[in-house]
Structure 1
Amino acid sequence: MITLPHGCQCSEISVTPKDWKTCKASAMARNWHIQYYFYDTAIKKRKFVLVKGMNRFKTLTERREATVQLIENELYNLKDKGYNPISGKFLIESFGSIEPTAGFIDALRKAFKLLKLESTTMQDISSAINFFETAAKKIGIERIEIQSVKRRHLRQVLDMVGELKKSWSAYSFNNCRAYLLMLYKKLLEEDAIDVNRVKEIPKQKNILKLKRVLDEKERLRIDTHLKEIDPNYRRFIHIFFHSGSRKTEMVWLKVADVNLEKQVFKLFIKKGSQQREELRAIKNIALDFWKEQLDGSSPDDYVFSTNFRPGETRTTTKRMGNKWRLYVKEGLGIDIDFYSLKHLNLDETSKLLDAEAASKMAGHSSTVITLKHYLVNEEERKRKRLRKVSNDFCVTN
């Protein structure tokens, strides 16, 4: 028996097949696994644990190496991190700087704790790390020292994540790569690594599809429908549409940050490591919606609470999108995402004013992002103007 932290114990780890170190190639047709018994003496319970992950390898040498790595990973988790397979929890947590000898996944999780990003981005990165961990376990590199992780290891992890996820595309790959890049930048700052290997992995080419926005008939159908079934959400849609803001920004908006007399509202902007406060305009056309929304509210209230009325608790970006899916995509059969509202508003603002005004409304530092991602009809407007250019090749009197 092996003595573990907190009075727990486990049996010696064994492998199936027993002759895995000397077997012939025919053994590749079988499913391999490692197994052991775990004993939690505090609650007097026992669990039989099976660990797989080596079967994806197609040669005996690779499968044996993966098996050795999996055994090392499991012993490390049990002995050094106090992993309890019954509760599924790690009972020992290390603190301090990130050592170059830290295990791959441990190092990523420590780097994650040092990041300071907006909550939704942190949630996305946390979810990505869970996929990285599952992928690393399958490949057998979960415990490899972070200083020894090569570009090929990272590429294998990203490829394995692609196999694990239900949907995977160049866009998904680039997102996971971006999250890994953020973590590796922090590892580099902490001197856990000398080179950011993620930079050596090129982005995948993503086909930029033309974005479709709501037409006038669809907008009228949606407005009529929401007016009947959920007036509060309808009011939110009008305010959000005219704000040019992001969901994550509107979620945190408080009544005290809105000045109806000056027709402005103050947002806390957090993009990456940059944070700032910014005033946004309240359009004349949206002013009545704002007045109705704030009627009877208190300064400390969030503008949009759980029922999209002001309240002490804020709503969530997930709730914003879920209601759109329920009412519009499923209820009316209009297959357009919630965020297309921002594209539509900025595009129409650019049409009535210019791209710079649309960029200002969205809080972009320049028109580059606005033009590239939001002004969906700008190219057609340019083509329309170009069609009217009357510069004859040959002028006759």
Structure 2
Amino acid sequence: MQGNSYSDLKVYGKSMSEQWFVGFKFYCAKRNKTKRCHQVRLGVNYQATVRGRIIEGESVRKVVERCLKEGWNPFDCDVKSFIQSQQVPNLNEIVSREDPRNLPFNEAMQWAYNKKDNKKGTLNGLRSGLKYIKLAASSLGFDNISIQGITRFHVCEILDEMKTIRQAEYDISTNKRYIGKKFTPNQYNAFLDRASALFFEFENRGIIEFNPCHKIAKKDEIDFGIHKHASAQEVDIIKRELPQKHAELYNFLRFEYVLGMRPDEILDTKFSMVDYLNSTINISDALYNNRGELISKTTAYRQVPVPGYLLDWIKERAAGGDPDRYLFSYKLKPGYHRLSRCWISMLWLEHVIEGLGINVSLYSFKGKGGDAKRDAGIDLAAVSAGYGHNNTSMARNIYLTGEGERLRNQIIEKAPDL
């Protein structure tokens, strides 16, 4: 006689607008009945992001699978009652088996990645770093070491092995992007930063006393000029030609230049986020987009100041329409579709880099606009705050390429004589 059985055990749910659950088909031999899609939630829907629900849903799926293997019959009771009946270890004991202190190194690093709640681009970088960390650790035989046994020595060895593995991939690649490519100090530093971000999860919880990445020296980076600022002549050509070729792309560029917002932040901006009374765009009013991803790089309260001339342009663009629309949607006009950053990059490549022959990135105009604000007399701290930075060092060192020249000119013009 056939016994109880289950199938199709998985997490159901895609967007924040619906209820998520772990579902499965269950056949009860005693009753000769099948439940087509039994649903278990166990707090999955308390998570505030899609990513959070995916992670929590997978944890619940493992709990449900364990209960089913231990004999739980959904026809007899719900899963909570079965857990509480002590017929299986309680939920806390099940979760404790995934305590990172009890996991081998590679699994512990995966656990740390799963704890991250960052922007999609940041998570992509972390995922790439995690991939090579695991490969390097396995190659060196470090993959089964406890996370508490990892020292700075192990991390340095892993970083060197990551470099070897990545260069070997370049050497055999047939992709035009990678043929002849060499692993750079910039990539080494990026891998170190990603490893440090993962180890932070252990340090923050007291699992390790110190982050082993903190005192590892970074390499001297190569400046490839990827985000070099456009010259005055190039800016003049863009201002003259781009409005004729693609007016909405020029509007997008102007928005980034004036406000210093990141392209993804602009694409996530809706008219409802504009505070016309206080002349600000309140990113904090919608920390997460419809896909459950962070709009800004942090969850800090942030208001982006909007000059009057640009606020008037936004009012005209809104034209009494639905405030739930994006400022830049299909064809870069107001609408309900959230564009991808990749699509904007393709437009920029077509109309500016190839169309006008000006090899500068769209993102470089964030810094270009910041330099223009400083030249107009706006304080460095104000420019930095507009970027959403906690201190001025990032704005000064990364975006404001003209800051050094401004400081030198101040000394030349204002230094007093003896």
CA displacement 1:24-57 (0-9 Å, x = unmatched): xxxxxxxxxxxxxxxxxxxxxxxxxxxxxxxxxx
Distance 1:272 1:221, change over 3 A: closer
Distance 1:204 1:306, change over 3 A: farther
Partner of 2:323: 299
CA distance in structure 2 between the aligned counterparts of 1:381 and 1:254, rounded to whole angstroms: 36
Partner of 1:79: none
Q: Does 2:236 match 1:215?
A: no
Q: CA deviation at 1:150?
A: 3.8
CA displacement 1:202-235 (0-9 Å, x = unmatched): 2223366887411232123223443233322221
Give the residue type in structure 1 aligned to 2:238: I
User: Is the CA contact (8 Å cut-off) linking 1:108 and 1:183 kept in structure 2?
Assistant: yes
Q: Does 2:112 match 1:111?
A: yes
User: Is the CA contact (8 Å cut-off) linking 1:349 and 1:357 kept in structure 2?
Assistant: no
Give the residue type in structure 1 aligned to 2:111: K
CA distance in structure 1 between the aligned counterparts of 2:150 and 2:305, rounded to whole angstroms: 49
Q: 1:320-335 residue pairs with structure 2 within 5 A? A: 320-335=344-359
Give unmatched runs, 5+ long, in structure 2: 1-93, 171-181, 288-293
Partner of 1:42: none
Give unmatched runs, 5+ long, in structure 1: 1-93
Which of the residues 198, 201, 207 maps onto 2:216? Answer: 201
User: Is the CA contact (8 Å cut-off) linking 2:271 and 2:325 kept in structure 1?
Assistant: yes
Q: 1:371-382 residue pairs with structure 2 within 5 A? A: 371-382=396-407
Partner of 1:179: 194
Distance 1:380 1:192, change over 3 A: closer
Give the residue type in structure 1 aligned to 2:183: W
Which of the residues 335, 350, 353 maps onto 2:374? Answer: 350
Q: CA deviation at 1:191?
A: 5.5
Count of residue pairs brought into register by the alignment: 301
Distance 1:188 1:357, change over 3 A: closer
Partner of 2:54: none
Partner of 2:183: 168
Return the TM-score normalized by structure 1.
0.66
Q: 1:1-397 residue pairs with structure 2 within 5 A? A: 96=96, 97-163=98-164, 164=166, 166=170, 168-190=183-205, 192-193=207-208, 195-206=210-221, 212-260=228-276, 262-268=278-284, 275-287=299-311, 289-295=313-319, 297-353=321-377, 354-389=379-414, 391=416
User: Is the CA contact (8 Å cut-off) linking 1:297 and 1:311 kept in structure 2?
Assistant: no
Query: Secondary structure of 1:376's partner?
Result: coil
Distance 1:390 1:142, change over 3 A: closer
Give the residue type in structure 2 aligned to 1:350: R
Query: Secondary structure of 2:234's partner?
Result: helix
Give the residue type in structure 1 aligned to 2:359: D
Distance 1:349 1:386, change over 3 A: same
User: Is the CA contact (8 Å cut-off) linking 2:136 and 2:158 kept in structure 1?
Assistant: yes
User: Is the CA contact (8 Å cut-off) linking 2:283 and 2:296 kept in structure 1?
Assistant: no
User: Is the CA contact (8 Å cut-off) linking 1:245 and 1:342 kept in structure 2?
Assistant: yes
What percent identity do the matched residue pairs reach? 23
Distance 1:326 1:134, change over 3 A: farther
Which has the higher relative contact order, 1 or 2, with Cα contacts under 8 A spaced 6 or more apart?
2
Query: Considering only aligned residues, what root-mean-square deviation do their CA atoms show, in Å?
Result: 3.2
Query: Secondary structure of 1:280's partner?
Result: strand
CA distance in structure 2 between the aligned counterparts of 1:350 and 1:209, rounded to whole angstroms: 25
User: Is the CA contact (8 Å cut-off) linking 1:258 and 1:264 kept in structure 2?
Assistant: yes
User: Is the CA contact (8 Å cut-off) linking 1:214 and 1:344 kept in structure 2?
Assistant: yes
Query: Secondary structure of 1:275's partner?
Result: coil
Q: CA deviation at 1:296?
A: 6.2
Distance 1:273 1:362, change over 3 A: closer
User: Is the CA contact (8 Å cut-off) linking 1:100 and 1:191 kept in structure 2?
Assistant: no
Distance 1:186 1:367, change over 3 A: closer
Distance 1:380 1:198, change over 3 A: closer
CA displacement 1:41-87 (0-9 Å, x = unmatched): xxxxxxxxxxxxxxxxxxxxxxxxxxxxxxxxxxxxxxxxxxxxxxx
CA distance in structure 2 between the aligned counterparts of 1:146 and 1:180, rounded to whole angstroms: 13
Q: CA deviation at 1:238?
A: 1.2
Distance 1:141 1:298, change over 3 A: same
CA distance in structure 1 between the aligned counterparts of 2:333 and 2:261, rounded to whole angstroms: 18
CA displacement 1:240-262 (0-9 Å, x = unmatched): 21111222322321110113465
CA distance in structure 1 between the aligned counterparts of 2:352 and 2:200, rounded to whole angstroms: 41
Partner of 1:38: none
Query: Secondary structure of 2:322's partner?
Result: coil
